[in-house]
């Protein structure tokens, strides 16, 4: 659906010879909407047109009114305040929201372009902690958003299944582990052994050398080392799968770090052949001092490759084999320098597609104000967090709506949705502090509040029973200001969606749907729907249906389910 901003921008562009895209960017929503529905500041045109902003505003106001697309355009001190034809606009928006909700939320700009998204990426033999939620759910939301915008996203779980940590895991298991105990609860027992290794190594540093030896055996294909490593992976994936299923998250590929073991030599050879490798203290590095970055280590002094080498190989695989032209890495902000180095090395290698690589960074997850650390054993299991949220949601349902059908299913939808929405409503580069009392609040800016608004819309439509008939222009002549406020919020769905996609930030959509819910609940409390006269009832039911559809689609994009009753 073409936005009203775009329609206005087209008129302004023709009058000023400025691009439609620039004009659309400059159009604002007035902070005081009594002044109008849209505002166009004309200061930006002054240098180009060599006129005062007031003169430009007067000229553009006349052109806008003459177009017949808007009800009013008034020049005021260098601004043009514009009012929309309310009845016609409302009718067209609601008809579109009834028949094709994707038009309200996307112009499908992607045209099939493949985008590889690296997200979640937990470490094998370590717990899936609450700290992993951010990468997992931001990545899943981006996968859904990009698909809705016409791209072909490819979700990749870059599992941490290689490195010296596996030498530690093997040593810990052989010294203190018990097979039956580990099989009964693999990830937690393996993690407990890993924590014990670090505790013991403080007083017995020789353990670190033993761990390095076992990792070297693993690299060399030692039968026992490989057997244990594969077992650790197999058991860990079983545990991860349960958490992913609860979250509603899926991947197109599980490609762990070990997948690239046989692909790194080619990267090293290419770097060497292009004269990019230099020696530094026995190691081979790419000098990035010209870009104010430390050297990117490619091969350590002992000949081992490291994360950067692996990420270079992974990037080439994703572009060359998977066909991706854009590569997204949903990884914490502490890795910003690492990805700056990797992307710069790809660029120096002559890979033009390196400009399509983006580090989608995010802040850390805290739990009741505290930072978590797996190495110190300070971890909160995500599965436990989700299960507790579901239990608490069930308790709330038992209190507030004990006769609700399928309470277990709704409790799962609400509990899991609350945890997800609490993460995604936060601007992604900010830290998130997880507190149960905030997450499950039905009255605040929470997932349950949005889900409850969706269920309220469904309830109204169920009570009405009959299917809505076609809308007529005369149904909208008596629109109230409260109704118009809801219409305007619904109309901002598409541009908000595109801003969220372009910024790789689901929080933009989450904050938007909260505003829609607030506008609908004001409308619901101020106006009768089912008892209104016929034209008014039809209009208000259409508004209710459009609101339901927008909330449902936004929640789907955020990987949150939409209960129809709560």
The CATH superfamily assigned to 421-557 is Isoleucyl-tRNA Synthetase; Domain 1 (1.10.730.10)
CA 308/CA 296 separation, integer angstroms: 7
* H helices present in 17-130, as ranges: 20-26, 46-49, 53-67, 86-99, 101-105
Any idea which residue has 């409503």 for tokens? 425
CA 248/CA 469 separation, integer angstroms: 36
What band does 372 get if pLDDT is binned at 50, 70 and 90? low
pLDDT at position 364 over 60: yes
Q: Encoding tokens for residue 563?
A: 């209960």
pLDDT, one tens digit per residue, over 56-113 is 999 999 999 999 889 999 999 899 999 999 999 999 999 988 877 777 777 788 989 9
**Are the beta carbons of 280 and 295 closer than 8 angstroms?**
yes
Mean pLDDT of 278-301: 93
Cα atoms found within 13 Å of the Cα of residue 546, Cβ hemisphere only: 30
Say which residues have a Cβ less than 8 Å from residue 386's Cβ, sequence separation at least 6: 243, 246, 247, 415, 416, 419
- Given this model, what pLDDT does residue 32 score? 82
pLDDT at position 2 over 70: no
What band does 376 get if pLDDT is binned at 50, 70 and 90? low
**Are the beta carbons of 397 and 111 closer than 8 angstroms?**
no
CA 491/CA 96 separation, integer angstroms: 11
By percentage, how much of the chain surpasses pLDDT 70? 98
pLDDT at position 366 over 80: no
What band does 432 get if pLDDT is binned at 50, 70 and 90? confident
pLDDT at position 27 over 70: yes
pLDDT at position 1 over 50: no
More confident call, 40 vs 6: 40
CA 70/CA 36 separation, integer angstroms: 11
More confident call, 281 vs 173: 173
Question: Is 36 exposed, middle or buried, given 0-12, 13-18 or 19+ CB atoms closer than 10 A?
Answer: buried
Q: Which of 103, 102, 118 is nearest to 153 (CA)?
A: 118
- Given this model, what pLDDT does residue 466 score? 82
pLDDT, the chain, mean: 92
Q: Which of 406, 296, 282 is nearest to 342 (CA)?
A: 296
CA 519/CA 72 separation, integer angstroms: 24
Q: Encoding tokens for residue 153?
A: 């996203």
From 92-106, 300-314, 363-377, the region with the lowest mean pLDDT:
363-377
CA 312/CA 296 separation, integer angstroms: 11
CA 522/CA 430 separation, integer angstroms: 30
Q: Encoding tokens for residue 478?
A: 């008596």
Q: Which CATH architecture has domain 4-84?
A: 2-Layer Sandwich (3.30)
Q: Is the dihedral of CA 376, 377, 383, 385 positive or negative?
A: negative
- The CATH fold of domain 114-275+301-367: Rossmann fold (3.40.50)
Mean pLDDT of 387-402: 92
Say which residues have a Cβ less than 8 Å from residue 553's Cβ, sequence separation at least 6: 101, 102, 104, 105
From 1-15, 244-258, 380-394, 434-448, the region with the lowest mean pLDDT:
434-448
**What residues does each domain of the chain span?**
4-84, 114-275+301-367, 421-557
Q: What is the pTM of this model?
A: 0.92
Mean pLDDT of 501-523: 97
**Cα 245–chain centre separation:** 18
């Amino acid at each position: 659906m073409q936005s009203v901003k775009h329609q206005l921008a087209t008129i302004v562009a023709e009058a000023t010879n400025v691009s439609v895209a620039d004009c659309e960017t400059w159009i604002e929503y007035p902070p005081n909407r009594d002044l109008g529905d849209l505002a166009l500041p004309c200061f930006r045109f002054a240098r180009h047109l060599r006129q005062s902003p007031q003169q430009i505003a007067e000229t553009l106001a006349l052109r806008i009114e003459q177009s017949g697309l808007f009800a009013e355009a008034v020049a005021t001190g260098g601004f043009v305040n514009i009012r929309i034809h309310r009845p016609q606009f409302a009718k067209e928006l609601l008809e579109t929201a009834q028949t094709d909700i994707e038009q309200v939320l996307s112009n499908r700009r992607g045209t099939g372009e493949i985008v590889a998204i690296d997200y979640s990426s937990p470490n094998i033999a370590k717990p899936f902690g609450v700290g992993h939620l951010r990468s997992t759910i931001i990545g899943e939301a981006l996968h859904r958003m990009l698909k809705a915008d016409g791209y072909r996203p490819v979700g990749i779980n870059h599992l941490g299944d290689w490195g010296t940590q596996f030498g530690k895991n093997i040593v810990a298991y052989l010294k203190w582990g018990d097979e039956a105990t580990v099989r009964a609860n693999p990830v937690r027992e393996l993690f407990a052994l890993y924590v014990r290794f670090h505790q013991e190594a403080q007083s017995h540093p020789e353990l670190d050398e033993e761990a390095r030896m076992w990792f070297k055996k693993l690299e060399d294909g030692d039968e026992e080392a490989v057997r244990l490593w594969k077992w650790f992976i197999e058991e860990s994936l079983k545990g991860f799968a349960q958490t992913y299923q609860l979250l509603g998250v899926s991947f197109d590929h599980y490609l762990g770090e070990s997948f690239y073991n046989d692909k790194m030599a080619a990267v090293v050879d290419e770097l060497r052949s292009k004269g990019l490798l230099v020696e530094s203290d026995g190691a081979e590095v790419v000098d990035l001092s010209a870009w104010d970055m430390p050297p990117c280590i490619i091969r350590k002094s002992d000949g081992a490759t490291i994360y950067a080498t692996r990420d270079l190989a992974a990037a080439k695989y994703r572009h060359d084999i998977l066909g991706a032209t854009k590569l997204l890495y949903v990884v914490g902000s502490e890795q910003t320098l690492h990805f700056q180095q990797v992307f710069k090395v790809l660029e120096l290698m002559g890979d033009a597609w390196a400009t399509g690589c983006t580090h989608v960074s995010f802040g850390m997850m805290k739990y009741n104000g505290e930072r978590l650390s797996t190495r110190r054993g300070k971890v909160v299991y995500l599965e436990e967090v989700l299960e507790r949220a579901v239990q608490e949601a069930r308790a709330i349902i038992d209190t507030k709506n004990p006769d609700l059908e399928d309470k277990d299913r709704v409790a799962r939808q609400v509990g899991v949705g609350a945890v997800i929405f609490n993460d995604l409503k936060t601007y992604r580069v900010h830290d998130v502090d997880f507190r149960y009392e905030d997450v499950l609040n039905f009255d605040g800016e929470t997932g349950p509040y949005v889900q409850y608004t969706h269920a309220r819309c469904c309830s109204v439509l169920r009570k009405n029973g009959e299917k809505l008939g076609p809308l007529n222009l005369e149904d909208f002549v008596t629109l109230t200001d409260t109704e118009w406020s809801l219409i305007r919020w619904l109309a901002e769905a598409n541009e908000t969606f595109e801003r969220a996609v372009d910024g790789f930030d689901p929080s933009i959509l989450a904050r938007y749907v909260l505003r829609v819910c607030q506008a609908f609940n004001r409308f619901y409390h101020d106006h009768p729907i089912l008892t209104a006269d016929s034209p008014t009832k039809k209009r208000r039911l259409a508004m209710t249906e459009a609101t339901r559809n927008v909330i449902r689609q936004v929640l789907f994009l955020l990987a949150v389910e939409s209960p129809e009753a709560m």
